[in-house]
Homo-oligomer: A and B are copies of this chain.
Amino acid sequence: MDAELKALAREVNSRLRELGLTLATAESCTGGTVAAAVTSVPGSSDVFNGAVVAYSNNVKNVVLGVPVEVIEKNGAVSSAVVEAMAAGVRRLTGSDCAVATSGIAGPGGATADKPVGTVWVAVDVRGSVSTHLLQLKDEGREINICTSAKNVLSLLLEKLT
């Protein structure tokens, strides 16, 4: 695993432990990479409840409860969808905090207004939600996913500080 990602995951585990908070993730484009990073840390089961990787829109709707209209109106890669994904996984897993991702990891899937590297992130701490648009330089699918995951953990740490 990327050393910087692992270091951020260690910081997130420590911070959650200090604050007595639990975390869940709802991941589309990152495909479970954020969950895998957080759970790579020994003892993470004390602060991490679980994750939903919602690759299909059906899973976003049926499992996370993102309304079909919200997906149709805004597109899956949107502020409204990641906000609903985070709220959904927080409720589903009974967690204090959640992060959510939806974006274009590439090489396929880009559109004129959403190029590869466009990633929406939501950070939800007990219902206080912020969403963030990342416009990453396209460095290939695997690095795009890893960079997205690092951004997610950094944004969560900011909100927890």
Contacts and interface: CB of A to CB of B under 8 A. Distances in A.
Interface residues of A, number: 40
Contacts of A49: 55-56, 58-59
Interface in A93-135: 93-94, 106-109
A79 interface: no
A107 B32 contact: no
A40 interface: yes
Contact of A55 (B34, B39, B59): B39
Interface string A20-59: 0000010100111111101110111100111111111011
A157 interface: no
B39 A53 contact: yes
A70 interface: no
Given A35-B53, A59-B93, 16 more contacts: A1-B1, A1-B142, A39-B55, A40-B145, A44-B55, A45-B56, A48-B55, A49-B59, A50-B53, A50-B54, A50-B56, A51-B52, A52-B63, A59-B92, A62-B92, A62-B94
